[in-house]
Chain A
């Protein structure tokens, strides 16, 4: 039996002025999948995520998330979104940030506390939780941002470069966590520039010029590009993409 399709997007097209950010893109992601979105800078990864989340209206095409046609307000409580910028309150403490966003998901104060402590443990900021976010380093702020995005136990999470600026050791534990979440049937869409991260995804989609050039398991992509590592595979894909356009 085919797994439930958590994301279904058909012919998404989005233009910003003269530039086409999404060029008739279709995508489907099934439940519990850890989906890696890779591609060169400006490929349209962030636009795709924002469009899927309902933050941008596509000029053409439509997307369905968890069975709801976007933009839908119903889906929001089950949606996690970590934007590429930090999107945290610098003037509040780590805990205050978590508490505020937790309250937006109608979590009770005690629930928020409990979840916040779990996630602070994951992002290794337990001892900094009383500090103001503005005093933390960039990598730490990103960790706060990730904690906020996962606070309400979303069933579907979009993480836009969650590990940029995060040190390798912690990066690895993040990905361990992503894998665990996927095992618990949480669907994750993660953008990354790092091959070792793409390697850990169930499915990798290679995006370029607003189109999904290819999609498959890391092994499938290696076979398809006749390469031995994803680094080479992506370079081959990028070159193929440039030849096509």
Chain B
């Protein structure tokens, strides 16, 4: 009976606490919705560049009318075979320019040589023997001919994200297969391609996820610590005592930021060193750039944590609000699953998560060795988040003293 009384009391107190009650109901729903929506499974908006120099013609020898030229347009057929929902295809004229774009917002570049159609058809006939085709209303027999020497189709792929690279290659394979099928060919794709990987396949799944996991660990610890500390300071009455002294809210906020930035930097150093030492994660970039990213990221996190502490009446609530923030952080920031696999609505949330930018910036530095110049977008967003949340947390700090 006593246990029942205890249980009744616990439940009654939960029911009294509107915010906790709301969190109990909403949190699981939130979790499932994000989970369900973020694994749509299919990719979209993968940007690739195609340079189509193929003249679309195939010159073949026939048994009936001698050498004729067929119009087959196989490179265009290949492009048409790519799913427009998956790929965002940019057509360029300049092959060198196209190859340069890879790794800078473009996942892959394909350069079809002038003789692409010709090469495919002649290879096909050579491999599978003579066959019939329609030519100017008549059926003609194409005869196998000498192999055509010519440049292969050039493919460069950004393999910094092994998942995306794998998905792109698979899609290309099936598009090529569809094209070759029209030519009844048993030719393999590989014999047509001069494929290269930007990072030579050196980036493992571990390397790819490491920056995000480190960022997530920082999010977890920094937000939790800061939110708890501020809530405790408020509920313990010491915040009132601080703010009634001749100090301003910005001085207090800055003090907090300074202290927790140091903690965050220490944590980050620990995370990086242990990851490097135990798992030899890829880190080819500038450590200074990493520190800059970490500091901006940490300030933003603290700002968010201070805002959370304003909403939370007590430490238990603060904890739940932190969870609210952490779930989308790990699932939607592209740590495990690329943003490109998420449906638009989920991706909109991704763009509101600081970890999305920290992860992208850290990957650029650690995996691909990009310098600060390539990080201007991520750094400006992280900087803006840091600035705005710091400003808001100063306001919230001031408010907290009055409501304490």
A83 touches B402 (CB 8 A): no
Chain B residues with Cβ under 8 A from A148's Cβ? Answer: 241
Interface residues of B in 221-253 (CB under 8 A from A): 236-238, 240-242, 244-248
With CB as the reference atom, state the residue of chain B lying closest to A97. Answer: B238
With CB as the reference atom, state the residue of chain B lying closest to A90. Answer: B236
Roughly how many angstroms separate A55 CA and B248 CA in the complex, as a whole number?
13
B237 touches A57 (CB 8 A): no
Known: A55-B401, A55-B402, A56-B402. A73 touches B238 (CB 8 A): no
A101 touches B244 (CB 8 A): no
* Chain A: minimal CB distance from B401 (Å): 7
A85 touches B237 (CB 8 A): yes
Roughly how many angstroms separate A79 CA and B245 CA in the complex, as a whole number?
8
A83 touches B245 (CB 8 A): no
* Chain A: minimal CB distance from B396 (Å): 16
A87 touches B246 (CB 8 A): no
Roughly how many angstroms separate A178 CA and B355 CA in the complex, as a whole number?
55
Roughly how many angstroms separate A101 CA and B240 CA in the complex, as a whole number?
12
Contact of A87 among B240, B247, B248 (CB under 8 A): B240
B237 touches A101 (CB 8 A): no
Roughly how many angstroms separate A81 CA and B242 CA in the complex, as a whole number?
11
Chain B residues with Cβ under 8 A from A54's Cβ? Answer: 244
* Chain A: minimal CB distance from B54 (Å): 73
With CB as the reference atom, state the residue of chain A lying closest to B237. Answer: A87
Chain B's interface size range is 10 to 19
A164 within 8 A of B: no
Chain B residues with Cβ under 8 A from A85's Cβ? Answer: 236-237
B246 touches A101 (CB 8 A): no
B246 touches A83 (CB 8 A): no
B241 touches A83 (CB 8 A): yes
* Chain A: minimal CB distance from B157 (Å): 55
**Residue interface bits A73-107, CB-to-B below 8 A is 1, else 0:** 10011010101011111100000000001001110
Number of A-B contacts (CB under 8 A): 48
Of listed A73, A81, A89, A104, residue having the most chain B CB within 10 A: A104
B246 touches A106 (CB 8 A): yes
* Chain B: minimal CB distance from A233 (Å): 32
A12 within 8 A of B: no
A104 touches B245 (CB 8 A): yes
A116 within 8 A of B: no
Known: A55-B401, A56-B402, A57-B402. A104 touches B238 (CB 8 A): no
A146 within 8 A of B: no
* Chain A: minimal CB distance from B228 (Å): 13
B237 touches A76 (CB 8 A): no
With CB as the reference atom, state the residue of chain B lying closest to A148. Answer: B241
With CB as the reference atom, state the residue of chain B lying closest to A104. Answer: B245
Chain B residues with Cβ under 8 A from A38's Cβ? Answer: none
* Chain B: minimal CB distance from A109 (Å): 16
Chain A residues with Cβ under 8 A from B401's Cβ? Answer: 55
Interface residues of B in 250-264 (CB under 8 A from A): none
B241 touches A76 (CB 8 A): no
* Chain B: minimal CB distance from A67 (Å): 16
Roughly how many angstroms separate A89 CA and B237 CA in the complex, as a whole number?
9
* Chain B: minimal CB distance from A201 (Å): 23
A83 touches B248 (CB 8 A): no
Contact of B246 among A77, A81, A86 (CB under 8 A): A77
With CB as the reference atom, state the residue of chain B lying closest to A83. Answer: B237
Contact of A105 among B237, B240, B246 (CB under 8 A): B246
A25 within 8 A of B: no
Known: A53-B244, A76-B246. A88 touches B402 (CB 8 A): no
Chain A residues with Cβ under 8 A from B404's Cβ? Answer: 55
Known: A87-B237, A87-B238. A76 touches B402 (CB 8 A): no
* Chain B: minimal CB distance from A219 (Å): 34
B245 touches A101 (CB 8 A): yes
Known: A73-B246, A79-B244, A104-B246. 6 other contacts (CB 8 A): A76-B244, A83-B237, A87-B237, A104-B242, A106-B246, A148-B241
Q: Which residues does B use to contact A, with CB under 8 Å?
A: 236-238, 240-242, 244-248, 401-402, 404
Q: Which residues does A use to contact B, with CB under 8 Å?
A: 53-57, 73, 76-77, 79, 81, 83, 85-90, 101, 104-106, 148
Nearest 9 CB-CB pairings of A with B: A87-B237, A104-B245, A77-B246, A76-B246, A85-B237, A87-B241, A81-B244, A83-B237, A87-B238
11 A-B residue pairs with Cβ-Cβ distance under 8 Å, sorted by A, are: A55-B240, A55-B402, A76-B245, A76-B246, A77-B246, A81-B244, A85-B237, A86-B237, A101-B242, A104-B245, A148-B241
